[in-house]
Structure formats: C-alpha cells, structure tokens
C-alpha cells in the first residue's frame, strides 16, 4: 500500500464529485486526503466514506486564496512532510495549474489529464494528438504526480471506510511574491462547469442565434447538465468562448454528451471523444457526427430538443 495524497476540491462546503472519482482511482492505497485552505471538519465523514485514512488540513501563513504559488508551496511541503509517494488531483482549471506549479517546485514528473492510472506500476494512460490516440506512459520519478480527467473514473465509496483522522498541518513556506490574484470576476448567472458536469448539451451552428441557447438551458436544467457550444457557434457570435467544447476550447468527458446541430469536425471530437455516451441531433443525415456517435436523431433541433426536454 503506497501512501497517496489526493488534493480534495471543495465547493459550497461539499467535496466535488470529481474528487471522489480521484479517490476511487486510488482505492486500496493508504489515502491522505489533502484539504487546502478550507474546513476539513465539514467534509470529514464523506472523505472517510471514500477511503481517506488521514485527512490533512493544510494552512500556511499568508493569503493562500490569493496566491497560486503559495498554495503550490504548501502542497509541495505536504508531500515532503508526509512522504507521499503519489499526489493525485482533478484536471480542473485549478488542479492543472496547481499541479504544474508543484511539479516544478518538487522537480518531479507530472502527467496531466489522465484517464487511467496504475499507482503500483507508475503507469498512466492519457490522450495524445487531440483525442486521436491514447498513450501509456511510465513515470520515473520519486513522486508520482498526476491529474485525472474529470468524470473519467466513476466515484464508488470505499469497500472499507477509512479512519479519516484530521491532522492539522501548518506549512512553513513563504510566497515568492511573483503573482497575486487581485480580482475575481464572476458571471452573474451561476452555471455548471462544463469540464466537470456529468452531462453536457452542446449547440452548434444550427442553433442560429444566441437567444436559442435558452432552449438547451431548459433541457439542461432538467437533467443537471452544462451547456456548451461548438467552435462554429462561438465564431458566429452565438456563444462566448468559455462555452466552447473542442480544440481551442474545453475538453469534456461526461457520462452523456448531447450534440445539437453540431456537424462533428475532428477538432470538436478532440474535446468530447472520451464521453461515455454520445447522442447527436442534426438535420443533415450525412453529418459526420453520425458516423462517430452512439445514438442519432435526424431532425430539426427546434423540434427535437423541446420534445426531448418534455420527456426528461
């Protein structure tokens, strides 16, 4: 059993589902759940349920929330303090950034956005060439650093509950003072994050206008989905870039992906190919997307989507 640290992401006082997925990937190892700049006591029971042997509540003097470098320093210090052989996290925007900083500090190898991991063998599987191939990589470091693609591993509670004892760790680190978060700009409407959503509904060029995304949002709301857009729709000005799925946009891997009026360019597939089930709705029966998805409906999205929403 290797001592494995897992960076836990917490939102609104609850552990994110994606973090439970990462814990599941480490099942059988001695799990150290790492809570950075948050209140571990609030999530203690849940973390124990997913197998946490130890919960480390990491703090540092200085404003952790304003400095990604300080967070990385604190996390790197935790790896050393508890002699963690492996450090895993979610390949979210925050996780990707933080792990790259930690890898640079520790001077250890890191593999980002993996879909599979074998902690004993130190091998991981991840996408190469925009989702066209999977690469199996061997990692030769003294610490295995790895972020996992959200939703790539289905969360399953541990067969034996972990002890989940909380340890307080005050990392003795200093902020290099190179960067500081000075402002956080929030969109007024709180939306589900595309990369982490279990279901994604995307509107392509056929959506025709920005206001028509309301139709997809109505559907999304019923099933807890996030709404995305294809590059064609973004370039046409129907949706902001933050909604773009595919190359130069976001990579998603939900359990269900519904593409509405998306033709299915290679660059789009690069961002959603590893979804579990892909459904396409398109007026053009010859659209390339039908040759690469699981279920297809030929029809006008303005007829099909409302009918679908009604039945969900």
Partner 1 sequence: MKICVCVKHVPDTAANIKLAGEKGFEDSEIKFVANPYDEYGIEEAVSIIEKHGGEVVIVTVGKSSAVTTIRSAMAMGAHRAILVKTDSRFLDSDLTAKALKAVMEQDGLPDIIFTGKGSVDTENFQTQYRLAKSLGMSIVNEVSSLTLDGDKALAQRETIAGEKQVIEMRLPCVIGATKGLNEPRYPKFPDIMKAKKKEIKEIDLSELGIDASQGKVVIEKLEPVPERSGAKMLEGSVDDQTTELVRILKEDEKVL
**Smallest distance from partner 1 to CB 167, Å:** 28
**Smallest distance from partner 1 to CB 85, Å:** 15
The smaller minimum CB distance to partner 1, of residues 174 and 179, is found at 179
CB 89 within 8 A of CB 6: yes
The smaller minimum CB distance to partner 1, of residues 163 and 312, is found at 312
Euclidean distance between CA atoms 8 and 56, whole angstroms? 10
DSSP character for 76? H
Complete DSSP assignment for 206-262: GG-SGGGHHHHHHHHHHHT-EEEE-HHHHHTTSS-GGGBBSTTSB----SEEEEES-
Buried b / exposed e over 58-87, threshold 16 CB at 10 Å, is bebebebeebbbbbbbbbbbbbeebebbbb
**Smallest distance from partner 1 to CB 48, Å:** 27
The smaller minimum CB distance to partner 1, of residues 96 and 166, is found at 96
**Which two three-digit tokens encode residue 174?**
């200093």
Euclidean distance between CA atoms 108 and 73, whole angstroms? 14
**Smallest distance from partner 1 to CB 165, Å:** 30
The smaller minimum CB distance to partner 1, of residues 47 and 297, is found at 297
CB 288 within 8 A of CB 263: yes
**218-219-223-225 Cα dihedral, nearest 10 degrees:** -90
Chain length of the chain: 312
The smaller minimum CB distance to partner 1, of residues 13 and 311, is found at 311
The smaller minimum CB distance to partner 1, of residues 53 and 279, is found at 279
**Smallest distance from partner 1 to CB 217, Å:** 13
Distance of CA 117 to the CA centre of its chain: 15
**Smallest distance from partner 1 to CB 113, Å:** 6
**Smallest distance from partner 1 to CB 34, Å:** 19
The smaller minimum CB distance to partner 1, of residues 31 and 278, is found at 278
**Smallest distance from partner 1 to CB 138, Å:** 5
| Other Cβ atoms closer than 10 A to 121 | 10
Q: Dihedral sign, CA of 87, 30, 151, 221?
A: negative
The smaller minimum CB distance to partner 1, of residues 61 and 248, is found at 248
**Which two three-digit tokens encode residue 231?**
């590059």
């Amino acid at each position: 059993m290797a001592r494995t640290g897992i960076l836990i992401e917490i939102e609104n006082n609850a552990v994110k589902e994606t973090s439970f997925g990462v814990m599941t990937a480490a099942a059988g190892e001695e799990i150290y759940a790492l809570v950075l700049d948050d209140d571990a006591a609030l999530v203690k029971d849940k973390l124990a349920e997913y197998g946490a042997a130890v919960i480390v509540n990491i703090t540092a003097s200085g404003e952790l929330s304003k400095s990604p470098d300080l967070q990385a320093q604190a996390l790197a210090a935790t790896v050393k303090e508890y002699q963690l052989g492996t450090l895993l996290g979610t390949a979210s925007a925050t996780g990707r950034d933080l792990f790259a900083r930690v890898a640079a500090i520790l001077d250890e190898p890191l593999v980002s956005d993996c879909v599979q991991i074998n902690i004993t063998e130190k091998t991981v599987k991840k996408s190469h060439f925009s989702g066209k191939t999977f690469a199996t990589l061997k990692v030769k470091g003294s610490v295995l650093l790895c972020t996992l693609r959200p939703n790539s591993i289905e969360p399953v509670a541990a067969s034996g509950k972990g002890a989940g004892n909380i340890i307080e760790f005050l990392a003795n680190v200093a902020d290099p003072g190179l960067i500081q978060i000075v402002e956080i700009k929030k969109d007024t409407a709180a939306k589900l994050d595309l990369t982490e959503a279990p279901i994604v509904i995307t509107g392509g060029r056929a959506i025709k206008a920005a206001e028509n995304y309301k139709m997809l949002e109505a559907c999304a709301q019923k099933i807890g989905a996030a709404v995305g857009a294809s590059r064609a729709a973004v370039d046409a000005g129907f949706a902001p870039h933050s909604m773009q799925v595919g190359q130069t946009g976001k990579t998603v891997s939900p359990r269900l992906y519904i593409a509405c009026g998306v033709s299915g360019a290679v660059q789009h597939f690069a961002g959603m190919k590893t979804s579990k089930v892909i459904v396409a709705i398109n007026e053009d029966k010859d659209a390339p997307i039908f040759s690469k998805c699981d279920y297809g409906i030929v029809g006008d999205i303005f007829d099909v989507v409302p009918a679908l929403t009604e039945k969900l």
